[in-house]
Amino acid sequence: MTAAAPSPGRGTRSSAWLLAPLVALAGVSLTLGLIARSTEPGPSSYLRLFFSDTIHMKVWLASAAAVLGVFQIFSAAWIFRKLPWSRPRWINTAHRVSGAAALLLTLPVAYHCIFNLGFQDATARVLAHSLLGCVFFGAFAAKVLVVELHRFPRWVLPTAGGLLFAVLVAVWYTSALWFFRLVGVGL
């Protein structure tokens, strides 16, 4: 007996649909890079919120986003039953809220980097940070697209989430961790 073909609207999407999140990743990353590249560096203390200066604002907001990124990985594993504990009812909401909070924390940082500093390439670390900063928002767009479009093969969502987390950690590593090591803040 043969299995019936899935009816339209059911089953997984064709491989061609993988182009949609890849185009989103490339399009957003490239657009942000071009905007940052066309920006002339401006005043560095333009945006600092309640921090002593802009660099401290960026370091601490990025660090908080990285902590939320760790929670994102942990909560995703819990949602998909990869942890030995039963899944609580609140975990899906906590996952969404922490993801939104992480994105919101990165926005003032990105704003300052794009519109006050621009794309920079003075050293390998700075170049990597500029590239990764642009890719972070492209990876975010790609992951949201995967979540919203549904029906991708099972491996696509964890791959998109893992890529987003890896890029976030790399951006943090080339900025906040570098700064903490430079000024000797116990890390």
Q: Reply yes or no on whether the pLDDT at 101 is more than 70.
A: yes
For helices 124-149 and 156-172, give the axis angle rounded to 10 degrees: 150
Tell me what the pLDDT averaged over the chain comes to.
Answer: 87
Give CA–CA dist 49/51, Å, rounded.
6
pLDDT at 187: 43
As a whole number, mean pLDDT of residues 86-108 equals 95
Residue 36 sits at φ, ψ, to 5 deg, of: -65, -40
Which has the minimum average pLDDT: 1-10, 141-150, 167-176?
1-10
Q: What is the pLDDT of residues 24-69, one digit of tens each?
A: 999 999 999 999 998 877 665 555 566 677 888 889 999 999 999 9
Q: pTM for the complete prediction?
A: 0.83
Per DSSP, the chain holds a count of helices (H) and strands (E) of 6, 0
* Look-up of token digits 């649909």: 17
Give CA–CA dist 139/30, Å, rounded.
12
pLDDT at 118: 85
